[in-house]
Chains A and B, each alone.
Chain A
């Protein structure tokens, strides 16, 4: 069964004087548990695509089905619930909340409420995830006390708290050096294997893309799979 079915997806930004067509008739089908990388030049629409897949933005046309659910017409509240239950998002700029400790940052998705999992169980999972990303010694630290790589790993742990079916990562290694990039790539692939999560990683990093395996190139609003 396909985890992601994108058909005829387009996104147009209206600006004074002109309409900017970023995506146009984009098609994509991914099976559950797949990990893919999306590459492309700057301004090609990679982040836009990720925002649309993550229900952070609405498409101008076409449809997006995630796990069989059409998310292109969700209201803001429905979209939030969808992200909270089904998605994991990893950002280039980590976006950890400065007022919270690392452990609390990982637990932030629980703030949405109505989680079936108990608070204690969530906390245990958060600790496990932080251990898995190598931050078990940093649980009570505040974000400013972490290095760039550590912040990113904390962000990855947070993205996995809800056991997402789909993990979307936007330039996760953009600000990291080569060694840190390697570690993060390994971590993501391990999680993909261990958790069985479908993963889309947007990156400029060719090495990371190669490591992930299946790669698409976004160009002129269309996706084209890059042969290995």
Chain B
């Protein structure tokens, strides 16, 4: 018989004994592999979502609110610069179902043509699948959200985008809503590119696909797009070069025309005001270019007379020879001089609209001396001085002006209309360029035209020169390599495998400890065999190898079973995780996936761990002398004397006290948790000491209690494993329970996470500068409903992605939320937890420093960004240039989770064209948040506003953490169950091993009740000590959490948990007792 055959024979013979080891291994492997598989599944799901979101798109050219020719796509294609290219027009809208009236705000409307579908993740769609002229395609998420049936008609309402930000003065209508109606032609799933989105999130975005041409017409943007999808293998720089070479001035929003009267070529911007960057490039290319600023004066007044609504121009004398040298005042044309009765040496007043720091339209006034009068002839009578102000340039009459600022038509006189008829926008007043910049410069720019003298360059040469000098980035068109970024972002910031492994650690440890204990039982059962083999001269190493091989076979088989069970277990875990993301419409969206490498690595790692444990257990047996083994003496050899164990207990206790003392250095929570853990170890050492001390103590009369104590101390390791498992279980479950978040009802308090604001409002369209009649404190334009609410805090939404715990993607640039932080500082709103050293613990900190500073929720900083205070994140400004944002402070559990809060003024420095506020925190009125939400939803229906209460938002964030804690509890609870099962097994094993001891007692006339009492006392001791040690240690660990509030609820929850654990432990030990007590007592009859 070979060694292998001998080993296999043993394996089969002891199969029942090995069953427990097999089950323990299967459980351990299931937990480990389940965690790894869940990690793989999350990663794969995110990769698939990224792929579904972007399909075959490698790069995009993003215009945002800047529109370029859709023909740019054709130009790029004809150059062979890209494999595939598609122009897209993307806007936000509110979608309503005509039949049901259901509506949804913040819907992504994507204007597409045939080429768009070629980018889908699946096979290229047939042309027949393109939405027809009066047809929309919608994605599954929108269809589900709006409960779309077949043959539904959808109405899209969106704000017509302006060429210039609607925030800007003279930008035309403040808001122009248009509606588009169409039948739902198809519902696009992920395979049909229904998930298309540039936002880095795994959550689907409600989307409607509209024929590009129809959307262009509806928006008044014929032939325009604001997004190019590109499929190419070219490197970024090379691709950018190709795009630059394909761009025309129209793509940059520039035109060049002749101004014969000025003998110059004039460059104009479709955005009216030249971006400062663009102006700088032009001036660098053509140093002789003369800037022009033309603006609207509300009133020009002098001598008690007033001329309404006139154009005024600021220009250098070089560009307007009729001004005859540097101006020391203003020059008026003779029409105005006559109208106001002013002449050189007199003063006039100029009233005009400007935006204040809070972006409110205010009327300002300037007193200007009149330096001269020019006749209304020649260049001074050229209407080309005025740019094509939206709503003005094409107006028939002055009274028809729709400049986006309040116009009082009653003030317009017949002579004003006559002037408009004859001279159109010819300025009535000229001033120096410097004065014009001072008065009319704004964050969108200063100049309304740049004139290059014909002597320098003709029109065509100017156009060519501009094309050579400009780049898409300068014009605000940003090329992004989204393909690579998406895959990088799909690497979740939360390592779910690690997270779940961490959560399962105790359960794993319990399973491993139980398996080790069962293996030890098995090994003890074969003590004599081991001794015999040694006595017969089989080398110890060989016996050890056989044992290990047997163990390997069992563990490997257990791991195989565990791997199969892990599939189901993973699905349960994923199901639990999915409850976090209710935004997916309750669908199961995590795709089960496992990598071969992960599976192999996991199984290998687990088998390795188990073999290490088995080796330790087996080695201990091999170290016992042959004679002891032959005598089947499975009693433990005690190496550590009781006094030494007492020292260990004291040492761990001291370490715990030291950890408490160090709370100032490592923080309260960390210090108390560490201290709790140290007290746990101290408690276990104390228990060990007690076991041995009681055994060694002099017998002062034999009783059932004494017998029980002797039995507990007889196999110290077994007793310690059981008490340790219970204590650790109680410690972990209770300690974690205390961190359970309770939904706060303190939202009214300024220092709460809601900052005293009851409502969170997000609108589809930005609230731009106020409409006529709109009060400054009514940015949402609530009108008469305004009185029902308290303070409204508007916030601009800057670039970046949602980095809250709802987003599984790796977000490196969280969304910027900008507001007037001085107001927050004044209110003392929101809990600021920590700020940079040297900073004041106030919102004012964000206005200081050389770079843009931000406050971030602590959860986002710690778990998503994984950064420290003082570190900087790099963002790209409006022109694609990098700039840093310094993390200057943390907020404690606020509604701002997932965003960086910055000062509005700082944001506008980097994004001068930023749209108006789209996010509002509103103090609910007397009716409370629920009533306030209903009213706001009604009033803001047209704006597609999503209104939620801040309590709901905080509860949702807390819900995520509580879900993790619930999973931890579930796994920890399973661990306690396994530990309790160990107690049951131990009870059964002890009774089995001691059946002849009981038989002796019986023979000596000791009643069976005494035996039962002994067993009860032993079990009671294990449970008492296990629960006691765990509970004391846990209570130390949770002191900081208890002090933060919700004590009563936390304690009640903890009490319930401990009671359940105690009951469970009793149940299992009772089960073990029931299983063995009969056979143990029946052994007494055999003995008889």
| Contact residues in A for B538 (Cβ distance below 8 Å) | 80, 84, 108-109, 111-112
Q: Which of B527-535, B583-591, B906-914 interfaces with chain A?
A: B527-535
Q: Among residues 627 to 667 in chain B, which have CB atoms less than 8 Å away from a CB atom of chain A?
A: 627, 630, 641
Which of A81, A82, A95, A113 has the most chain B CB atoms closer than 10 A to its own CB? A95
- Interface status of B536 (Cβ within 8 A of chain A): yes
Contact digits for A85-111, partner B, Cβ 8 Å, 1 yes 0 no = 101010100010111100010011111
Contact digits for B456-468, partner A, Cβ 8 Å, 1 yes 0 no = 0000000000000
| Contact residues in B for A108 (Cβ distance below 8 Å) | 6, 532-533, 536, 538
**Could you tell me the distance between the alpha carbons of A85 and B696 in the complex, rounded to whole angstroms?**
43
- Among the listed A91, A95, A100, A109, which residue makes an inter-chain contact with B537, where contact means beta carbons less than 8 Å apart? A109
- Among the listed B10, B541, B627, which residue makes an inter-chain contact with A56, where contact means beta carbons less than 8 Å apart? B627
Residue of A nearest to B642 (CB): A16
The answer to whether A77 and B540 touch (CB under 8 A), given A54-B535, A95-B528, A108-B533, is yes
Which applies to chain A's interface (DSSP): helix, strand, loop or mixed?
helix
The answer to whether A95 and B532 touch (CB under 8 A), given A82-B537, A109-B537, is yes
| Contact residues in B for A80 (Cβ distance below 8 Å) | 534, 537-540
Which of B539, B625, B630, B696 has the most chain A CB atoms closer than 10 A to its own CB? B539
**Could you tell me the distance between the alpha carbons of A77 and B626 in the complex, rounded to whole angstroms?**
12
The answer to whether A111 and B13 touch (CB under 8 A), given A56-B627, A95-B532, is no
Which applies to chain B's interface (DSSP): helix, strand, loop or mixed?
helix
- Interface status of B883 (Cβ within 8 A of chain A): no
**Could you tell me the distance between the alpha carbons of A89 and B533 in the complex, rounded to whole angstroms?**
11
| Contact residues in B for A56 (Cβ distance below 8 Å) | 534-535, 625-627, 630
Give the contact-size bracket for chain B.
Answer: 20 to 34
The answer to whether A112 and B535 touch (CB under 8 A), given A95-B630, A97-B529, A99-B10, is no
**Could you tell me the distance between the alpha carbons of A115 and B540 in the complex, rounded to whole angstroms?**
17
Residue of B nearest to A104 (CB): B1
Which of B538, B540, B625, B641 has the most chain A CB atoms closer than 10 A to its own CB? B538
Q: Among residues 69 to 86 in chain A, which have CB atoms less than 8 Å away from a CB atom of chain B?
A: 76-77, 80-85
Contact call B13/A57, Cβ cutoff below 8 A = no
**Could you tell me the distance between the alpha carbons of A47 and B626 in the complex, rounded to whole angstroms?**
13
- Among the listed B14, B532, B536, B539, which residue makes an inter-chain contact with A99, where contact means beta carbons less than 8 Å apart? B14
- Among the listed A84, A109, A113, which residue makes an inter-chain contact with B3, where contact means beta carbons less than 8 Å apart? A113
| Contact residues in B for A98 (Cβ distance below 8 Å) | 13
| Contact residues in B for A219 (Cβ distance below 8 Å) | none
- Interface status of A158 (Cβ within 8 A of chain B): yes
Nearest CB of A to B549, in Å: 13
- Interface status of B9 (Cβ within 8 A of chain A): yes
Give the contact-size bracket for chain A.
Answer: 20 to 34
| Contact residues in A for B12 (Cβ distance below 8 Å) | 99
- Interface status of B1078 (Cβ within 8 A of chain A): no
Contact call B627/A85, Cβ cutoff below 8 A = no
- Among the listed B532, B542, B625, which residue makes an inter-chain contact with A57, where contact means beta carbons less than 8 Å apart? B625
Contact call B536/A83, Cβ cutoff below 8 A = yes
Nearest CB of A to B2, in Å: 8
The answer to whether A76 and B536 touch (CB under 8 A), given A16-B696, A99-B10, A99-B14, is no
**Could you tell me the distance between the alpha carbons of A196 and B538 in the complex, rounded to whole angstroms?**
24
Q: Among residues 513 to 527 in chain B, which have CB atoms less than 8 Å away from a CB atom of chain A?
A: none
The answer to whether A111 and B627 touch (CB under 8 A), given A99-B10, A104-B1, is no
Residue of B nearest to A100 (CB): B9
Contact call A57/B627, Cβ cutoff below 8 A = yes
Residue of A nearest to B538 (CB): A112
- Interface status of A60 (Cβ within 8 A of chain B): no
- Interface status of A51 (Cβ within 8 A of chain B): yes
The answer to whether A112 and B627 touch (CB under 8 A), given A95-B532, A99-B14, A104-B1, is no
**Could you tell me the distance between the alpha carbons of A98 and B3 in the complex, rounded to whole angstroms?**
16
| Contact residues in A for B1 (Cβ distance below 8 Å) | 100, 104, 107, 110-111
Q: Among residues 539 to 588 in chain B, which have CB atoms less than 8 Å away from a CB atom of chain A?
A: 539-542
Contact call A97/B627, Cβ cutoff below 8 A = no
Contact call B537/A83, Cβ cutoff below 8 A = yes
Contact call A112/B625, Cβ cutoff below 8 A = no
Contact call B532/A97, Cβ cutoff below 8 A = yes
Contact digits for A44-68, partner B, Cβ 8 Å, 1 yes 0 no = 0001000100101100000000000
The answer to whether A57 and B626 touch (CB under 8 A), given A81-B539, A113-B3, A113-B542, is yes
Q: Among residues 1 to 26 in chain B, which have CB atoms less than 8 Å away from a CB atom of chain A?
A: 1, 3, 6, 9-10, 12-14
Residue of B nearest to A168 (CB): B535
**Could you tell me the distance between the alpha carbons of A91 and B532 in the complex, rounded to whole angstroms?**
10
- Among the listed A91, A99, A107, A110, which residue makes an inter-chain contact with B13, where contact means beta carbons less than 8 Å apart? A99
Residue of A nearest to B10 (CB): A99
Contact digits for B726-769, partner A, Cβ 8 Å, 1 yes 0 no = 00000000000000000000000000000000000000000000
The answer to whether A77 and B528 touch (CB under 8 A), given A99-B13, A99-B14, is no
Contact call A89/B535, Cβ cutoff below 8 A = yes
| Contact residues in A for B537 (Cβ distance below 8 Å) | 80-85, 87, 109, 112, 162
Contact call A84/B9, Cβ cutoff below 8 A = no
| Contact residues in A for B14 (Cβ distance below 8 Å) | 99
Q: Among residues 112 to 157 in chain A, which have CB atoms less than 8 Å away from a CB atom of chain B?
A: 112-113
| Contact residues in B for A89 (Cβ distance below 8 Å) | 535-536
Contact call A91/B6, Cβ cutoff below 8 A = no
The answer to whether A109 and B536 touch (CB under 8 A), given A56-B627, A57-B626, A95-B630, is yes
**Could you tell me the distance between the alpha carbons of A124 and B696 in the complex, rounded to whole angstroms?**
55
- Among the listed A47, A100, A158, which residue makes an inter-chain contact with B536, where contact means beta carbons less than 8 Å apart? A158
Residue of A nearest to B628 (CB): A57
| Contact residues in B for A97 (Cβ distance below 8 Å) | 529, 532
Residue of A nearest to B13 (CB): A99
**Could you tell me the distance between the alpha carbons of A71 and B326 in the complex, rounded to whole angstroms?**
119
Nearest CB of B to A173, in Å: 18
Residue of B nearest to A97 (CB): B529
**Could you tell me the distance between the alpha carbons of A104 and B535 in the complex, rounded to whole angstroms?**
16
| Contact residues in B for A91 (Cβ distance below 8 Å) | 532, 535, 630
Nearest CB of B to A14, in Å: 11
| Contact residues in A for B531 (Cβ distance below 8 Å) | 95
| Contact residues in A for B696 (Cβ distance below 8 Å) | 16
Nearest CB of B to A74, in Å: 12
Residue of B nearest to A85 (CB): B537
**Could you tell me the distance between the alpha carbons of A87 and B537 in the complex, rounded to whole angstroms?**
9
**Could you tell me the distance between the alpha carbons of A84 and B155 in the complex, rounded to whole angstroms?**
94
Q: Among residues 234 to 283 in chain B, which have CB atoms less than 8 Å away from a CB atom of chain A?
A: none
Contact call A112/B539, Cβ cutoff below 8 A = yes
| Contact residues in B for A112 (Cβ distance below 8 Å) | 536-539, 542
**Could you tell me the distance between the alpha carbons of A112 and B541 in the complex, rounded to whole angstroms?**
10
| Contact residues in B for A111 (Cβ distance below 8 Å) | 1, 3, 6, 533, 536, 538, 542
Nearest CB of B to A88, in Å: 9
Residue of B nearest to A56 (CB): B626
Contact call B539/A83, Cβ cutoff below 8 A = no
| Contact residues in B for A16 (Cβ distance below 8 Å) | 641, 696
Contact call B540/A76, Cβ cutoff below 8 A = yes
| Contact residues in B for A81 (Cβ distance below 8 Å) | 537, 539
- Among the listed A51, A77, A158, which residue makes an inter-chain contact with B627, where contact means beta carbons less than 8 Å apart? A51
**Could you tell me the distance between the alpha carbons of A155 and B334 in the complex, rounded to whole angstroms?**
135
Q: Among residues 146 to 199 in chain A, which have CB atoms less than 8 Å away from a CB atom of chain B?
A: 158, 162
Q: Which 9 A-B pairs have the closest CB atoms?
A: A84-B537, A99-B13, A83-B537, A56-B626, A95-B532, A51-B627, A109-B536, A80-B539, A112-B538
A-B contact pairs, 19 of them (CB 8 A): A16-B696, A56-B534, A56-B625, A76-B540, A80-B538, A80-B540, A81-B537, A81-B539, A84-B537, A84-B538, A87-B537, A99-B13, A99-B14, A107-B1, A108-B538, A109-B537, A111-B6, A111-B533, A112-B536
Chain B contacts to A: CB under 8 angstroms:
1, 3, 6, 9-10, 12-14, 528-529, 531-542, 625-627, 630, 641, 696
Chain A contacts to B: CB under 8 angstroms:
16, 47, 51, 54, 56-57, 76-77, 80-85, 87, 89, 91, 95, 97-100, 104, 107-113, 158, 162
Q: A57-B625, A112-B536 are in contact. List 7 more A-B contacts (CB 8 A).
A: A51-B627, A56-B626, A57-B626, A77-B541, A84-B538, A111-B536, A112-B537
